[in-house]
């Protein structure tokens, strides 16, 4: 006991400069990954632009001006106008709000669901574990896109339903990741100690076990946004996502489809936005994973 | 082996039952009925009679049990919209979807495996970096947008390939013609998997290349080609087969989008139409059939393991 105290007393002061916390080390490793940093910067730009849409957009996203339909890019309309004479740049910014909001909120919902299922399965073990994992595996074996399609057609393609459907069809990976982490963590000594002093199961999970998997959850969340944005745009493209006249990147493409021959540019722009956003989220997530666990970098 | 097969078939049956139950509940409990009942020219009495004929006036569980007993007899019901047996329509469309999916799967494997192996053999070279870079593109590009862009480029601007459909209208049926129509959809559907498979091939090959037996093969003087493709790849293939199996459900989802973009007459476009028209028997039939095909293909993939790796025995 005495020696432990003296050890604390004589612990060398941190070398000049900052203390290296685990988060600091991750950040430092992340900063060395040029691609990931670029991706993060681009993402920050895109998010900022769509958040500021009401202030920076040159016009109103829903104002129809049939005299000005299908104008080529020019001084007044930087990216031209669509089939209803609406400014494409404006709709791109407002549509981005919807696409990213749907992407981020469905990711959030699917993370919550995945973490709860995974933590519960991993920590309880036994029958709960078996049942929850059977459900997870079962869902992974079903062509969920078809079910999502049917569900949205039946329940109505509102934004809330869209978020719910995306979340309900994409929580399984997170659940598996969290379960694996919980299985690893739950037998660690500090968890046993927490149990010994009488912490409730819920408290142990929430305070001591789940926080251990935050790095993996963060990575899964980043990649989850990429997946959700892709899914939203696909469903909106099929007419089962965000409903016109509200713009989303997916339904802008759906509208542009009829003008591939005459104004192909109309289909290029929203697609590039989806592509770049998803690409940057994937790069960012990948960089994050490498920074968190350098041993994984090879995969 | 037999016991394994029986267990897998039972699991599949349970899975299909649960999926059909969920979709059935969803379809029948959702607000608003099938769109044929929304005909303005029908009186309320006629609508009620129609509902009775379709059995929609019964409690849900009665409807489900009825549907299920018919399915077990091989009857998927009559499509509300087409007025034809659902099974007949599905059997017309299913081969087209299978053709498209299989073509895209073959294409993605043919491209991905050599790309992944070469990357793994020369890690951290510019070749490897290029492959990784392209993989990220492939994983991130929206399927339908890629389809639209390829249509603009190859059909509208260059005029090399048809923009959609399965054959030239009015022309005699020929394999060559169908193949020309198949190229763009197969490429579009295959892109994401190409990228995914290449990444997994690379990482699993790299793991295998570190093993002792590979060093032995090299030290006994085998050509690098033989080491890579005959010794390393064979073990790396196990991972790839697993990933292929796991991707099957997503493959048919991607097929649905691709079919819509290219007006390819398959299960995907059928499903989208059935969903919009709220054609209950059609929706149920498609869901059941697609889930069944995916489950059967997954089982097939599991059996492929035995051929690749003689060490694997299912007990």
Q: Residue A48's pLDDT is what?
A: 92
For chain B, percent of residues with pLDDT exceeding 70: 97
**Closest alpha carbon to A231 in B27, B197, B243, B144:** B144
Residue A81 has what DSSP assignment? B
Question: What pLDDT digit, counting tens, does each position of A177-213 carry?
Answer: 999 989 888 888 888 898 889 888 888 888 888 888 8
Chain A neighbors of B253, CB-CB under 8 A: 143-146
Q: What is the pLDDT of residue A7?
A: 45
**In this structure, is residue B43 part of a structural domain?**
no
DSSP string, B221-242: T--HHHIIIIIIHHHHHHHHHH
* A8 lies in some domain: no
B298: which chain A residues are within 8 Å (Cβ-Cβ)? 141
CA neighbours within 13 Å on the CB side: how many for B99? Answer: 18
The per-residue pLDDT of chain B, averaged, comes to: 86
Q: How many domains does chain A have?
A: 1
In a domain, A184, yes or no: yes
Share of chain B above pLDDT 90, in %: 23
* Listed range (A60-69, A229-238, B73-82, B164-173) with the worst mean pLDDT: A60-69
B121 occurs within a structural domain: yes
Q: Is residue A14 part of a domain?
A: no
Q: How far apart, in whole angstroms, are the C-alpha atoms of residue A150 and residue B279?
A: 10
Contact B249 A239 (CB under 8 A): no
Could you say which of A150, A234, A286 has the minimum Cβ distance to residue B27?
Answer: A150
Lowest model confidence (mean pLDDT) among A75-79, B116-120, B190-194: A75-79
**A189/A257 Cα distance (integer angstroms):** 59
Residues of A in contact with B137 (CB under 8 A): 279
Distance CA A273, CA A126 (A): 46
Domain-embedded: residue A17: no
Please state the pTM of the whole predicted model: 0.85
So what's the pLDDT on residue A143?
87
Can you give the residue range of the structural domain that contains A206? 31-297
CATH number of the domain within which B253 lies: 1.10.3720.10
pLDDT the model gives residue B277: 85
Residue A247 lies in a domain: yes
Q: Tell me the β-bridge partners of A81.
A: A87
Nearest CA in chain A to B23: A147
Q: How many domains does chain B have?
A: 1
CB A122 within 8 A of CB A186: yes
Q: Which of B249, B238, B252 is nearest to B207 (CA)?
A: B238
pLDDT at B86 over 80: yes
Domain containing residue B263 = 86-145+188-308
Interface of A with B (CB under 8 A): 138, 140-147, 149-156, 226, 230, 233-234, 237-240, 253, 256-257, 260-261, 264, 267-268, 270-271, 274-275, 278-279, 282-283, 286, 298-299
Residues on chain B touching A155 (C-beta within 8 angstroms): 26, 30-31
- Nearest residue of chain A to residue B140 (CA atoms): A279
On whether residue B240 sits in a domain, the answer given is: yes
Kindly calculate the radius of gyration of chain A based on its CA atoms and give it in whole angstroms. 24
| B33, B283 contact by CB (below 8 A) | no
Residue A254 domain-assigned (yes or no): yes
pLDDT attached to residue B8? 85
Binned at pLDDT 50, 70 and 90, residue B138 comes out as very high
Alpha carbon separation from A118 to A44, A60, A85, A133, A223 (Å, rounded): 31, 44, 49, 8, 18
For residue B166, is it within any domain? Answer: no
- Tell me if B143 and A155 make a contact (CB, 8 A cut-off): no
pLDDT for res A110: 95
Q: How far is A163 from chain B (nearest CA, A)?
A: 17
Indicate whether B162 belongs to any domain: no
Q: CB–CB of B26 and A155 under 8 A?
A: yes
Q: pLDDT at position A19, please?
A: 67
Is residue B63 over pLDDT 80?
Answer: yes
- pLDDT tens for chain A, 299 residues long, are 444 444 444 555 555 556 678 788 888 888 888 888 999 999 999 999 888 878 876 777 777 777 676 667 776 767 777 777 677 888 888 888 989 999 999 999 999 999 999 999 998 888 999 999 999 988 888 888 888 888 888 888 889 999 999 999 999 999 999 999 898 888 888 888 988 898 888 888 888 888 888 888 888 899 899 999 999 999 988 888 888 788 888 888 888 888 878 778 888 888 999 999 999 999 998 888 888 877 655 44
pLDDT score for A297: 52
* pLDDT value, residue A95: 87
Whether pLDDT at B91 is above 60: yes
Q: What CATH code is carried by the domain that includes residue A175?
A: 1.10.3720.10
Exposure letters B86-106 (e unless 16+ CB within 10 A, then b): bbebbeebbebbbbbbebbbe
Q: Do B256 and A150 touch (CB under 8 A)?
A: no
A212 in a domain, yes or no? yes
For residue B147, name the pLDDT band (cuts at 50, 70, 90): very high
Nearest CA in chain A to B254: A145
Residue B28 has pLDDT above 90, yes or no: no
Assigned domain for B268 exists: yes
Whether the CB of B231 is below 8 Å from some CB of chain A: the reply is no
CB within 8 A of B61, min separation 6: which ones? Answer: none
DSSP chain B: -HHHHHHHHHHHHHHHHHHHHHHHHHHHHSSS--GGGG-TTS-HHHHHHHHHHHTTTS-HHHHHHHHHHHHHTT---B-TTT-SBHHHHHHHHHHHHHHHHHHHHHHHHHHHHHHHHHHHHSTTSHHHHHHHHHHHHHHHS-HHHHHHHHIIIIIIIS--S-SSSSS-TTSPP-HHHHHHHHHHHHHHHHHHHHHHHHHHHHHHHHHHHTSHHHHHHHHTT--HHHIIIIIIHHHHHHHHHHHHHHHHHHHHHHHHHHHHHHT--SHHHHHHHHHHHT-HHHHHHHHHHHHHHHHHHHHHHHHHHHHH-TT----
B76 in any annotated domain = no
Beta-carbon pairs below 8 A across chains A and B? 129
Q: Is residue B210 part of a domain?
A: yes
């Amino acid at each position: 006991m005495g020696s432990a105290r003296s050890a604390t007393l004589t612990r060398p002061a941190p070398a000049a400069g900052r203390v290296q916390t685990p988060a600091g080390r991750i950040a430092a490793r992340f900063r060395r990954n040029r691609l990931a940093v670029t991706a993060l910067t681009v993402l920050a730009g895109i998010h900022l632009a769509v958040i500021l849409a009401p202030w920076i957009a040159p016009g109103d996203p829903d104002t129809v001006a049939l005299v000005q339909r299908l104008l080529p890019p020019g001084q007044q309309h930087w990216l031209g106008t669509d089939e209803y004479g609406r400014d494409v740049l404006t709709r791109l910014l407002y549509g981005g709000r919807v696409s990213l909001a749907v992407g981020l909120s469905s990711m959030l919902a699917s993370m919550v669901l995945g973490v709860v299922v995974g933590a519960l399965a991993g920590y309880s073990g036994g029958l709960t574990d078996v049942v929850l994992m059977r459900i997870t595996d079962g869902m992974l074996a079903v062509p969920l896109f078809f079910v999502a399609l049917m569900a949205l057609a039946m329940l109505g393609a509102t934004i809330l339903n869209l978020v719910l459907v995306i979340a309900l069809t994409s929580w399984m990976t997170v659940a598996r990741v969290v379960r694996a982490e919980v299985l690893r963590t739950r037998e660690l000594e500090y968890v046993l100690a927490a149990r010994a002093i009488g912490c409730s199961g819920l408290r142990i999970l929430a305070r001591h076990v789940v926080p251990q998997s935050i790095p993996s959850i963060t990575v899964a969340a980043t990649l989850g946004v990429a997946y959700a944005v892709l899914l939203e745009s696909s469903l909106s493209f099929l007419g089962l996502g965000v409903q016109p006249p509200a713009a989303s990147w997916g339904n802008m493409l759906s509208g542009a489809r009829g003008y591939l021959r005459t104004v192909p540019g109309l289909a290029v722009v929203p697609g590039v936005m989806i592509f770049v956003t998803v690409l940057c989220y994937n790069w960012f997530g990948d960089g994050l994973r490498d920074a968190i666990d350098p041993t994984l970098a090879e995969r | 082996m037999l016991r394994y097969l029986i267990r897998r078939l039972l699991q599949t049956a349970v899975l299909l039952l649960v999926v059909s139950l969920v979709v059935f509940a969803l379809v029948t409990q959702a607000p608003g009925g099938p769109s044929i009942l929304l005909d303005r020219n029908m009186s309320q009495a006629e609508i009620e009679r129609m509902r009775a004929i379709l059995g929609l006036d019964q409690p849900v569980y009665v409807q489900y049990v009825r549907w299920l007993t018919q399915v077990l007899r091989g009857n998927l019901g009559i499509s509300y919209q087409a007025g034809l047996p659902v099974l007949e329509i599905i059997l017309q469309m299913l081969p087209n979807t299978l053709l498209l999916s299989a073509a895209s799967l073959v294409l993605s494997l043919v491209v991905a495996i050599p790309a992944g192996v070469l990357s793994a053999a020369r890690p951290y070279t510019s070749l490897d970096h290029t492959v990784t870079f392209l993989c990220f593109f492939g994983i991130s590009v929206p399927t339908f947008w890629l389809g639209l862009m390829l249509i603009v480029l190859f059909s509208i601007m260059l005029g090399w390939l048809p923009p959609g459909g399965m054959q030239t209208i009015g022309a005699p049926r020929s394999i060559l013609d169908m193949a020309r129509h198949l190229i763009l959809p197969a490429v579009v559907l295959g892109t994401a998997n190409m990228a995914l498979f290449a990444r997994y091939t690379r990482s699993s090959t790299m793991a295998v290349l570190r093993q002792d037996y590979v060093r032995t093969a090299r030290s006994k003087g085998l050509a690098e080609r033989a080491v890579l493709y005959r010794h390393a790849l064979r073990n790396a293939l196990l991972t790839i087969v697993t990933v292929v199996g796991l991707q099957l459900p997503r493959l048919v989802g991607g097929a649905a989008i691709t079919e819509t973009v290219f007006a390819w007459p398959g299960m995907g476009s059928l499903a989208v139409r059935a969903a919009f028209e709220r054609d209950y028997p059609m929706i149920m039939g498609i869901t059941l059939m697609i889930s069944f095909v995916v489950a059967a293909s997954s089982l097939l993939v599991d059996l492929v393991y035995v051929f690749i790796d003689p060490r694997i025995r299912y007990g």
